[in-house]
Amino acid sequence: MADCREQVYSDEFFDFIVSYEETNEQTIAGACIQRIDEGYDIFYYPREGLPPLSVGSYSYSEIPKCYGLLDQTALEVSGILKMQNQPVLALKGRGVLIGFIDTGIDYTNPAFRYSDGSSRIVRIWDQTIQDGTPPVGILYGADYTREQINAALLSENPYDVVPSRDMNGHGTFLAGVACGSESENGDFIGAAPQSEIIMVKLKEAKQYLRDFFFVKDGVPAYQENDIMMAVSYLNGVANILNRPLVICVALGNSAGSHASEGFLPSYLNYICGRRKRVVVTATGNEANARHHFQGRIIGEMEHEDAEITVEENTKGFFVELWASAPELYAVTIISPSGEQIPRILVRRGASEQFNFIFEGTTITVDYRIDTKETASQLIFFRFIRPTPGLWTIRIFPQLTVTGNYHLWLPLRELTDGNNFFLRSNPEITLTSPSAARQVITVGGYQASNTSIYADSGRGYTITGEIKPDFVAPAVDVYGPGLLGNFITFTGTSAAAAITAGACAQIMQWAIVDQNNTVMSNTSIKNMLIRGTAKPENRTYPNREWGYGTLDVFGAFQNLRL
């Protein structure tokens, strides 16, 4: 057990996410294994003797992606205060758990306590603490119960008893917005102030993954497998307590096909199908990042160029090209000085490395067809030490029906350097896992003037499914900071937190108060969609607003019809 815990944290071990049905004796040998749930395992392999990490050497799906934080008067416009203050219903999330997967929580903040000073936090699993007692069945981190948290609050030095801290503030803010208690002066209250909280503080991604994905130094980044493990933990605690649970996932990345595919989206879809479970995700803040290129080769076109402007002192970056089956494309790359590599023809599992002599740049190109969960074509590019200037990826059709394909650069918050497509498209910029089919996907808008938050990730998915489902306030949202003060915050993370609180209100009415005990994630999502307010002069649904703006009061009004 101790050896396996060391492997979880050590940069000398690769992490792989593996579908449970694919586990066999050969893959088990020499690896520590962490079960996520019925469908997935995490394998920890010694790096020594294994090929370097690449999409060519390993399955794209099994390499954990790095996820970043989605940050950059809200409750009244969302109809939440009306439902809190409605004299008969008085919906404040009583009896409902809200789970967060984030940077931790300042458990000493009055926003997370009852009037008697005791904690509203049921559990904290801090993945970063290596010498504590981990949750049952989990190899790593430290698990703290409400009893321990209350003991800490009564202590002269609370962090000697429960040493978990939020050093970033993101998790504390979101938990406060979703379910913070009313402040003493009455100028703040969370959306579901009587709900209870479970917090998972994620550990930072291993350095080898940060290097592989060129994550900027000092920027928080978290591994997909740790997020999946956090979801499993939250679901397990709710099972033990037999309580309804809302999970707020305010993390994202630009990897994947931007459809309801991939291990984390698939796992969230599975959780959404469980009784008394709801999952809320944010669309991210990529609409104006210029990180999406949408291409189409039709008619007599021989090729199309996707040009990327690369900033000076960029250590590297990656690009993913995705095309839905049966489309197939070949590529070549042209440097700023005009140096060009030969066209790389489509071959299943092909992997090539090219050195640009005059630029001093190395580029690896990996082809993947029929990945674990999709028959789409993936071409994965890694640019290492790219010289500044205009790089061109030239795309050639080999088998086309629609001629459509897409390229994405990594999440703006994680990118090393300000690199962007010269001809970009702000559509289909929602981040993973918000394209997951079953989850409630929330974009952001500015409540003060009812305008869209310009950076809010846009739909639809690559397969045409309507996302976001709706939008919620995301600009200058007011909530608790780390110093016992209150701050404003902009980003679709805030929209997800507000919506998580709204879902807790509905779950209180439906399940705790027993008005509709079979209400599911899908029925809550549909109830909120039907209740959305629809600012005039636009057609719904659409790629920016989804079906409209969050209005919980409107959702309940529709139940009376």
Known catalytic residues?
102, 170, 493
Rg of the chain on CA atoms, in Å: 23
Q: What is the residue whose two structure tokens read 């999970």?
A: 247
With 0-12 / 13-18 / 19 or more C-beta atoms within 10 angstroms meaning exposed / middle / buried, residue 561 is exposed
Helix 170-179 crosses helix 492-507 at what angle (to 10 degrees)?
40
User: Are 324 and 258 contacting, i.e. CB atoms less than 8 angstroms apart?
Assistant: no
Under 8 Å between Cβ of 505 and 80: yes
Question: Residues 479, 177: contact at Cβ < 8 Å?
Answer: yes
Backbone angles phi, psi at 183, to 5 degrees: -70, 160
Tokens read off for 20: 């449970």
* Phi, psi values for residue 364, rounded to 5°: -105, 140
Q: Which two tokens stand for residue 90?
A: 């008085």
Structure tokens at 198: 């479970």
What DSSP state is assigned to residue 460? -
CB 445 within 8 A of CB 546: no
Strands 245-249 and 277-282: parallel
Distance CA 126, CA 166 (A): 10
Residue 137: phi and psi, rounded to 5, are 85, 5
Q: Which class for 144: exposed (0-12), middle (13-18), buried (19 or more C-beta within 10 A)?
A: buried
CA distance linking residue 433 with residue 418, whole number of Å = 24
Q: Confirm if 127 and 34 have CB atoms less than 8 A apart.
A: no
- What are the tokens at 454? 């310009």
Sorted by sequence, the CB contacts under 8 Å of residue 85 that are 6+ apart come out as: none
